[in-house]
Structure formats: C-alpha cells, structure tokens
Structure 1
Amino acid sequence: MKKSTTPGTAPIAVDLSGRATGHVVEVAGTGVHYWDYAPVEWTPATRTIVMVHGFRGDHHGLERVVELLPDHRIIMPDLPGFGASPAFDHTEHSVDGYGEFLAGFLDALALGAGTVLLGHSFGSIVASHFTASHPGRVHPLVLVNPIAAPALEGPSGVMTKLAVFYYWAAAKLPAPLGNALLRNWLIVHAMSMAMAKTRDKALLAFIHGQHHAYFSDFANRDMLLESFRASVSGTVRQVADRLTLPVLLVAGALDEIATLPNQHKLVNLLPDGELVVIGDVGHLIHYETPLPAAQAIDSFLERHPAP
C-alpha cells in the first residue's frame, strides 16, 4: 500500500495486495522484475493486459488504472534499467532495444496473440513500434498520453531542449555529481509540478510522493541518457500507418507534452483508430483521471474481443 497525504485532506491509497504477485523472468540475459495482478474473478471476458510504463517510471505509476480494471489480468514489468529491473548488458536502451525486450518478455510468459498491449507516454512509443514490427502478436493496442509528435516540436519544445542539455550534462559530469543532478529533489519536484494539472491537495500530494519515491529509481546515468534520447526522438506517428489492428488513444485535453491537436492528427493516420479525450488533465492521466481512462479501456475491449 502506498499513501501520501496533506494536512487536512484524506490520503489517497492504492492497495492491490490481494491481486499482485512479484516475479523475475530472464529475458535475453536480463533478470526482469514484473508484477502479475490477477482479476478479482476469472470470467470468459477476462483479458490479459501487458502494460508498459513511461520514461523514468516503473510499475507503480499505472497502478491506479490497474486498480480500476478488476475484471482483467494485468502484467506489468519494470522496463530494464528502471525500478527493480537491471539495465541491459549488451542492448541499447532504445525504442528498438525495448521492443526486442518486449518480444522476449511476451514469449517468456507464453502470452498469446489475444494479449492486450498498453503503453503510457514513452511506453506508447515502445508499444506502437513493437506492434508495427510484430503484426498479429497482440490485439488490440491501447496508448495513454501517446507521443504523437517529436518532443522538440510544439509549445514544450524549449523545455525539451533544456531537458536534452540536463541529461547530457549529467552524463558528462563526474559520476557522483551527475547522479546527484539527476536525482536532485528540487528538479524532480519541478518536473512533477509542471506535469500535474489537478488542484486537489490530496491528489497533488500523492502525485508528488509517487514521483519522489520512484522517479529516481534508475540503474545508471548512461542507460538513462540512452532512454531519454529514445523518448524525445521516437513517436507513434512514425509507425501509425502500420498499426492495422484496433488502436485506442486516451489523451488529456491539457497535455502539453502530447498535445491534443497532434492526437487528432494521429488518430486520422491510424487505419483503425479511436480517440478518447479526457478533460481537465494533462500528461498524468494515470494519476489524475484513472477512472475515465479505465472505463474507456473496458469499453474498447468489450468492442474488440480477442481474435
């Protein structure tokens, strides 16, 4: 159970202890940690959903959505280099590298073609590129806060350039200074504040608590720089026309990283795409508005059963 609180407000808690079991599986020589969340009750409609978290996150970030999908089995790894999973030994922490990992992960767990794949933010890039390169491997695809255009474009382009310099500088500094910069409390807090749109004090406290607890849990600065470069160079748009399966986009109306105009452009590029826009939220749908996101996912899966 994870709690965060502000004086005078009720704390927000996520409790999946009755559903979650932790495991380690070896994929291409890397011992990857993953969590398996059983459905409350197995039914013919139960689906298996593999979730891919975003940059600098781990499996904790999507647990508010998991909690609201009690009818489905959810499997969520910490991507190599993040959370409890060690970095790749010989593979680059790139979109292709994580795609190769995802292929091996699905095979290692013997997950079939009816598996649902969900990616959030950077995870949307990994999930979409994997799906485009492995047609028929999963069905369908769900992308939350999908990265529809290069990060250097649009209103956040200047901030992205500053972030590029931040990660580059951290990699060039002596290791103790570089790691201290990457894990600096004030910088992590500033990132958290910039992304959050809610004014709910309890929810803000929960979001900031989550970011401070898990945002700095990465293996080393070299893999972080590799994955950051992947996160600002890759997009879902690059492979949109190759995503021939049903695809659900869940977008935030106030998202300054994956902006709404670009979501409308992206859905028009998809052969079988659907866009759900959630109001009054930005890039933290998984924290701020998990209920409408989960409802959209449930509805989408009902209309797109396993092949």
Structure 2
Amino acid sequence: MNRYSPELSSRVIAGTVDVGGSPVHYWEYPAIPGSAETRTMLVVHGFRGDHHGLERVVEALPGLRILIPDLPGFGESPAFPDREHGIDSYADTVAGLLDALGLDRSTVLLGHSFGSIVASHFVAAHPGRVAALILVNPIAAPALEGPKGGLSKLAQFYYWAASKLPERAGQAILRSSLIVQVMSVAMAKTRDPELRRFIHAQHHAHFSSFANRTMLLESFKASISGNVRQVADRLQLPTLLVAGEKDDVTALPEQRVLLGMLPDGELQVIDGVGHLIHYETPLEAASAILSFLQAHPAEDA
C-alpha cells in the first residue's frame, strides 16, 4: 500500500556527505517552484526509524526545503566506526550535517520522538546555530519513570537479552515481525483500517533497518536515558512542541510540564492521536508547523 503521491518521489534528491569520517545518507525534498516560503528544515527521525517515516509530513509541506538524513546505524547510513551511538554522537552528526550541507543559522531543526532528544541536546550545546526548534512527539520526561516506566523496563530487558544471545538468535528477536507488529498495533490509534494497514506496512518495511545489534542497544540506552527536559532551560530559541493527546510514550501532562520549562515555547496538541503523529495526522502537524514558522519568520530568528 502506498499513501504517498507520485509528486513526492519526483521531488526527492538522494545524497551522501562525510560527517566525522563516516558517510551519512540524506534525502532532500526541494520546495515546489513558486512557493512563497523559502525556509530550510533539517529533520531528525526517531529510534529504529529512518527518513521514510517523516515523508507524509514532508508531503504536506511543499513550500519548505526539507532534508532528512538516516542517522548513523539506521536506514542506509552505516554505524559509527569508532564511537558509541549515544545522544552526544548523534548531536555531533547534526552539527556535521549542518556544516557539510551548508545550512546557515536561519535553518529550522525538527526532531521526532528520539530525534527530539538529539535535536534538543544539539541546540543546547550549539546556541544560535539554528533559528527555531520543532519537536514532534517529544520525549518530555524520563522513560523509566511514571506510569509507563514498567513498559520501558520491559523493553530495556528485551534489548539487553537480545544482545546476550548468540548472534543469529539475537538478530532474529530484534527483527521479529511479531514484535514489530505488536509494537505497531500498540502505538496506532487510528480506527481507519486502511491507514492502520499502511502504518503496519511501514513499520515492517523500515523498523528493522538497523546496522547491527550492538549499535541498536547503544541507541536504545540513549533513548531511555535522555529526554528534552534535561536541557529545556537552555533552549533559548522559539520552540514548538507538537504532542498527541493519546501519546503513550510521553503523556500529555508531561508535555505541559516541559512547556513550562521552555524559555520560548508553545504547545500544539493534536486530538485523537498518539505517538504516530507523522503517520496518522501529518496534515495537522504540517498546519501547526506552518503557523509556528509564520509567527517566527526567518528575519526575526
């Protein structure tokens, strides 16, 4: 099933840049000619995702120039050859991409889920490097705390166990279609059967596109040890939180706590959706992004 328009595939330009001695593959979606909006946005995908996951949002933002890399170890980008797949390493990748792609300080940075941790920590370490920050389904609180802490600990055991098993058995567990299906069903909130089939197909196609189980465990540890709240007071730039009303990963009350910690933040809540805003409600997400960018034009950044 393909819910993307033919125009999207005709727009995309694939490229590769060297970042810290490692090739990073990225996809550029130029703005449609004649668009009034000329902003450039760099997008950071979530854990076990790749550039495909954000394409429905890209499709809904034809007036923006958007670039999405596959983070090292995911999708088509190889794993780091000589460092751990942690938040700091991924934040360094964002810095390297901005420089390698010639993206100036007017650039907008967007992070989804785990990408929200990477993007926020990058901004905290590099104040003034980008003009605005957009966090979709942000990880606003520690994963091992709160009502969903038990599920996070169960996931932690799953990744740990898979890393201790013999290679073939560990890989089989990590790439298990049954596990992927359970995860996909749990996160999808839509009742539209066609959309649910599309979401499950996307997860089955891309959720297991990781380089090896060592980097996957390292990045999982980063995803549960880091959160946006850790650096919230250092995000001295316009910041938009796009949260799902039914998000099971970070509940809405935690998003409101995070909002109160941001120096210049705003929160847009999308009703009826959970942690898959990028799949289930891309038009609503795009509308929130455009409204935010119009309120914070490039010349004011």
Greater Cα offset, 112-121 or 16-25: 16-25
Which of 108, 122, 126 is the equivalent residue of 1:130?
122
Q: Structure 1 139/61 Cα, relative in aligned 2: closer, same or farther at 3 Å?
A: same
Identity %: 65
Q: Give the gaps of 5 or more residues in structure 2.
A: none
Which structure 2 residues correspond to residues 138-149 of structure 1 after superposition, within 5 A? 138-149=130-141
Aligned to 2:144: 152
The amino acid across from 2:127 in the alignment is P
CA distance, structure 2, for counterparts of residue 304 and residue 91 of structure 1: 37
Aligned to 1:41: 33
Q: 1:14, CA displacement in angstroms?
A: 4.5
Which of 233, 241, 247 is the equivalent residue of 1:255?
247
Q: 1:99, CA displacement in angstroms?
A: 0.5
| Residue 191 of structure 1 pairs with residue 175 of structure 2 | no
CA distance, structure 1, for counterparts of residue 126 and residue 4 of structure 2: 37
Conservation of the 8 A alpha-carbon contact between 1:128 and 1:243: yes
Aligned to 2:23: 31
Q: Deviations over 1:181-228 (max 9, x none)?
A: 000010010000111001100000000000000000000000000000
| Residue 105 of structure 1 pairs with residue 97 of structure 2 | yes
Aligned to 1:212: 204
CA distance, structure 1, for counterparts of residue 39 and residue 84 of structure 2: 31
Q: 1:258, CA displacement in angstroms?
A: 1.3
Q: 1:47, CA displacement in angstroms?
A: 0.5
Secondary structure (helix, strand or coil) at the match of 1:17 reads helix
Secondary structure (helix, strand or coil) at the match of 2:243 reads strand
Q: 1:46, CA displacement in angstroms?
A: 1.2
CA distance, structure 1, for counterparts of residue 79 and residue 283 of structure 2: 33
| Residue 86 of structure 1 pairs with residue 70 of structure 2 | no
Secondary structure (helix, strand or coil) at the match of 1:141 reads strand
Q: Deviations over 1:229-271 (max 9, x none)?
A: 0000100000000001000000000001011000000000000
Secondary structure (helix, strand or coil) at the match of 1:297 reads helix
Runs of 4+ deviating beyond 6 Å: none
Q: 1:156, CA displacement in angstroms?
A: 1.6
Aligned to 2:162: 170
Conservation of the 8 A alpha-carbon contact between 2:4 and 2:56: no
Aligned to 1:284: 276
Q: Deviations over 1:21-73 (max 9, x none)?
A: 10111111111110000111255531000000000000000000000000000
CA distance, structure 2, for counterparts of residue 254 and residue 137 of structure 1: 33
Q: 1:79, CA displacement in angstroms?
A: 0.3
Conservation of the 8 A alpha-carbon contact between 2:163 and 2:214: yes
The amino acid across from 1:131 in the alignment is V
Conservation of the 8 A alpha-carbon contact between 2:110 and 2:133: yes
Which structure 2 residues correspond to residues 223-302 of structure 1 after superposition, within 5 A? 223-302=215-294
CA distance, structure 2, for counterparts of residue 239 and residue 42 of structure 1: 38
The amino acid across from 1:165 in the alignment is F
Q: Structure 1 82/296 Cα, relative in aligned 2: closer, same or farther at 3 Å?
A: same
| Residue 200 of structure 1 pairs with residue 192 of structure 2 | yes
Q: Give the gaps of 5 or more residues in structure 1.
A: 5-11
Q: 1:18, CA displacement in angstroms?
A: 2.0
Q: Deviations over 1:62-110 (max 9, x none)?
A: 0000000000000000000000000001121000010011101110011
Aligned to 1:13: 4
The amino acid across from 1:169 in the alignment is A
CA distance, structure 2, for counterparts of residue 130 and residue 24 of structure 1: 21
CA distance, structure 2, for counterparts of residue 139 and residue 190 of structure 1: 38
The amino acid across from 1:167 in the alignment is Y
Greater Cα offset, 177-186 or 14-23: 14-23
Calculate the aligned-residue CA RMSD, in Å: 0.9
CA distance, structure 1, for counterparts of residue 126 and residue 153 of structure 2: 33
CA distance, structure 2, for counterparts of residue 105 and residue 66 of structure 1: 19
Which structure has more helix as a fraction of its residues? 2
The amino acid across from 1:129 in the alignment is H
Q: Deviations over 1:115-141 (max 9, x none)?
A: 000000000000000001000000100
What is the aligned residue count? 298
Conservation of the 8 A alpha-carbon contact between 2:116 and 2:138: yes
